[in-house]
Structures are given as structure tokens and as C-alpha cells.
Structure 1
Amino acid sequence: MTALLKADFHLHTAEDPEDLVRYTAEDLIDMARAAGYGVLAITNHNRVTWNERLAAYARDRGIVLIPGMEATIEGRHVLLYNVDPAEVDRSSLEALVRLRREETLVIAPHPFYPSPCALRGRFRANVHLFDAVEYCHFRGRGVDFNRPAQALAARYGLPMVGTSDAHQRVQFHTTYTLVEAEPDAASVIRAVKAGRVRVVSRPLPLATLARIWLRMTWRNKVVRRLSRPRA
């Protein structure tokens, strides 16, 4: 029986090899359970944080955990689900066509945000390679880089999924997706591709956006660099 499942398809945890995050995968699952989530995908950078033990931990708390990662391809970020990392050609966005199968999912994250890793024009040129487009939480009144992504998604009939792209607890549960699906990974992926999704989001105060950005910059540019062991 299908139901409306609360889902977040873009999340980072302490297991991320690139960004400094203060909560573990288990912590995130516990946070999600308390907030009523039914579906999660941990998408650490260039690493799949998923195994049978972690999936069982989530399942025991009523959550479907979908294997995912935020892969860097041609220097740009792409969200991949149910994909073997060994199959990913990191030199070519065009090679994504080989990863698109019934059981996999390819999402364009924050495509028009002012970041060197955002797809931007490469998304326009390769829009046919994506199953869905991200509606990112990082927005406020008068500040919303999701708008060009919304326009392009509407033009090409691509569904949009809301995510928190959480690296900090304050980001989690600010934007998410309601998916009409059965509580299993295959059904959720089919529902996303079919557009049986609804974005739930609220604009954040500019002061909150500033704190999120400053904290992320401090952690990744200063704290993480100072904590690296010296050769």
C-alpha cells in the first residue's frame, strides 16, 4: 500500500571524507526518526555510507535507507543512488547515461547555486541525463537560487525533490520531500522518477543562512585543515 513518506535525499554525516560534520550516520537516523521521516539517503562526498548493519539500524526505526553518494564528475557534483562507485566515470558527465537503470536514480543537486561544484551550464547541456532536480533548503526571502532550476525542470518535465543538504543539525528538516510510495527503496525510486513527489520547504531568515555559511566555512577551511595530521 502506498503512503506519503517524508524523505530527504541529500544528507552528509561524520563519515564524509571531505566535509567536517559533527553527527554520525546513526545520529542522523535517530534525528530523522524523531522528525517522522520514512526515507533517507546519506550522500557523503564520493563515498557510499551504507551497509547492512546501518540499513537494519534505520529499518528498526521505521526508515528506508537508500544507498547514495554525492559524486564529483568533471569537478561538478551529482547525486547518485543505488550505483556502484566503481562504475562511476568521474571524467565525463555524458557517461552518466550508463548508470541510468530502473533501479538507479540520478539527481542534479543545487544546479544553479554560486559554487564552483554546481552544474550550472553543464546541467542545461546534459539535462537528459538526470531523473530529477534538487530544490535546496538554502534559501530565504529574496535569496533563492532554486528558481532557474525550477524553470528548467518545468520545461523538461523533470520532478523536483526537496532536500536539506544537511552538514549541520540546524539544516536538517528545513526542506524535504513527500513521496507517494511503498516503504522500500525500489518503490521510492520509481515514485521519484514518476513525479509522485511534493516539496515541503520554508524560507530561512537571512541571519540563519549567514550562520550556516560561516559555520561551514570555518569548519572546512580552518578547523578541518588544522586537524589534519602533518607529514
Structure 2
Amino acid sequence: MFAIDLHAHTRFFHGHERAAELFDPIGVRLLTLGARYRDLDGVALTNHDYYRQFGGLTVETIPGIEISTTKGHILVVGPDPPTKTEPGTLTPHEVVEMAHERGCAAIVAHPYRNSTVRDVDADFDAIEVNGKHPRTEEWVRTLAGRNGLPLVGGSDAHYPVEVGRAYTLVDADVLTPGSVVEAIRDGRVEPRVRRGTLDQGVRRLYRKIHEGKDNLYRPKEESPGVGDPPQPED
């Protein structure tokens, strides 16, 4: 059994492409050091719309990419993710097909935040319990059960201290990108969400950092994420 964070980023800021590219080697080392501190066996590198390989790290890394589709974000993890995609141009169906052709798993990312991917009838491999929105976990479990899909966990870390806030237990004999994909497709995975003092503090810090983005302000009657909670079947 391996503990893997299936959703993490090496860039802790957006824009200024050249500066961000130069920062990536530093960011990935901070990220993997955080993963090691959190007793994780591995972490998927799922930067927005690009994948870059790094070596000499302290924990196993799983290749991946977070693709901005026409309906929201999809994680593609496995041996051969695309190295670059154009945000907002690929449909969820196209991303799923591409992922499978490359031997990767296609995972619905944070289904209740700025996304309608959850409503798309595509051949997804799993749905994510996102570490930034643990209050939506019950809804995500209902959604996954309705669609007959396994659940995975990912922190969606953009800062090293966030890594491992949510992660996935992967039942495999060896830890390789291929074995992770097989475990996801076979349902030999289970999400875990940490709710300790550190994680609560990070969550509060996250809210302060993003106060100016408006997307953290929600009327009380709305869901903790964006979108309506799943309704019971008739």
C-alpha cells in the first residue's frame, strides 16, 4: 500500500511565464520535501496545462497534468501525459480519449469548484476528493457512487505546506506510474483527508491569501463549492 498525493503543483504563482519556468526546479524540490515530511510515498506533478519531468527528488513522482477543458479541470496521470495543452480548447471527451491512448487515468478534479465536468457522460476513471474543499466530500462520494467510479484524494497543493492535505492510498505491489493507473481503474484506491491542526491552519491561511478572488465568498444557502449538491434519485 502506498500513500500518494495525486494532485499537486510546482508553481506557487501564475503568470510571468519565464520566471515561473525558472522557478519550477525549486518548486518541485520544495513540494517533494513537503511530501516526504508528510510521510507520503509519492506525489503526482499535475501543473496547469503542462507537464515537465524532474530528477533527483526525495519521493517518487508520478507524471501528470491538470487540463483546463471546456467544462472544467481534469487530471491526467500516468506514464505518458501530454507535455502541453491549450487551456479551454479540449472537451472532456477529448481529454479522456487522449489520456487512455497514452496509458493514463482521467480523473475529475474538484467537481464542485468552477466545473461542470461532473455532468459530462465520459469514460472517466475516478473522481477526486479535493484537499481544499473537504466539506464537499460527502457530495463527491454520492457522485462517485452514482457513476460507479472510484474515489481518489489530492491536496491541490500550490504551496509546499499544503501537500498531503488529501491523498490516496494505492493498493499496489510496486510504485510506478503504470501500477497507479491500474490500481485506479481496478478501484484499488481510497482517499484520505487530513483534518489536523496543521491542515486547519493551512485552510485558514488559504482563505486569507485568496480573499481578493471572490470565489471563496458564498451565500450560506449555497454549496461549499460551486454548483448544486447531487440530488437523490427518484
Whether the TM-score (by the shorter chain) exceeds 0.5 is: yes
TM-score tier by shorter-chain length is 0.7 to 0.9
DSSP 3-state at the match of 1:95:
helix
Find out whether 1:79 has 2:75 as its counterpart. yes
CA pair 213-40 structure 1, distance change in 2 beyond 3 A: same
Q: Aligned partners of 2:123 and 2:31: how far apart in 1?
A: 30
The aligned residue for residue 197 of structure 1 is 189
Q: Aligned partners of 1:123 and 1:183: how far apart in 2?
A: 29
Q: Aligned partners of 2:15 and 2:151: how far apart in 1?
A: 26
The aligned residue for residue 65 of structure 2 is 69
The residue correspondences of 1:43-58 to structure 2 (distance < 5 A) are 43-48=46-51, 50-51=52-53, 54=54, 56-58=55-57
The aligned residue for residue 119 of structure 2 is 124
Equivalent position amino acid for 1:83 in 2: P
DSSP 3-state at the match of 2:182:
helix
Equivalent position amino acid for 1:57 in 2: G
Find out whether 1:145 has 2:131 as its counterpart. no
Q: Aligned partners of 1:84 and 1:14: how far apart in 2?
A: 18
The aligned residue for residue 161 of structure 1 is 152
Q: Aligned partners of 1:71 and 1:149: how far apart in 2?
A: 20
Q: Aligned partners of 1:170 and 1:86: how far apart in 2?
A: 26
The aligned residue for residue 224 of structure 1 is none
The 8 Å contact of residues 169 and 190 in structure 2, kept in 1 or not, is answered as: yes
Find out whether 1:91 has 2:90 as its counterpart. yes
Aligned residues: 202
Shift of 1:18: 4.9
CA pair 8-210 structure 1, distance change in 2 beyond 3 A: same
The aligned residue for residue 228 of structure 2 is none
The 8 Å contact of residues 2 and 41 in structure 2, kept in 1 or not, is answered as: yes
The aligned residue for residue 7 of structure 2 is 10
DSSP 3-state at the match of 1:71:
strand
- Report the aligned-residue RMSD: 3.2
99-108 vs 65-74, greater mean Cα deviation: 99-108
The aligned residue for residue 111 of structure 2 is 111
CA pair 176-184 structure 1, distance change in 2 beyond 3 A: same
Shift of 1:191: 0.7
The aligned residue for residue 229 of structure 1 is none
Q: Aligned partners of 2:130 and 2:106: how far apart in 1?
A: 16
Gaps of 5+ in 2: 214-234
TM norm structure 2: 0.73
DSSP 3-state at the match of 2:136:
coil
The 8 Å contact of residues 169 and 189 in structure 2, kept in 1 or not, is answered as: yes
Aligned-pair identity in percent equals 25
Q: Aligned partners of 1:208 and 1:40: how far apart in 2?
A: 19
Q: Aligned partners of 2:158 and 2:212: how far apart in 1?
A: 13
Shift of 1:27: 1.3
The 8 Å contact of residues 11 and 41 in structure 1, kept in 2 or not, is answered as: yes
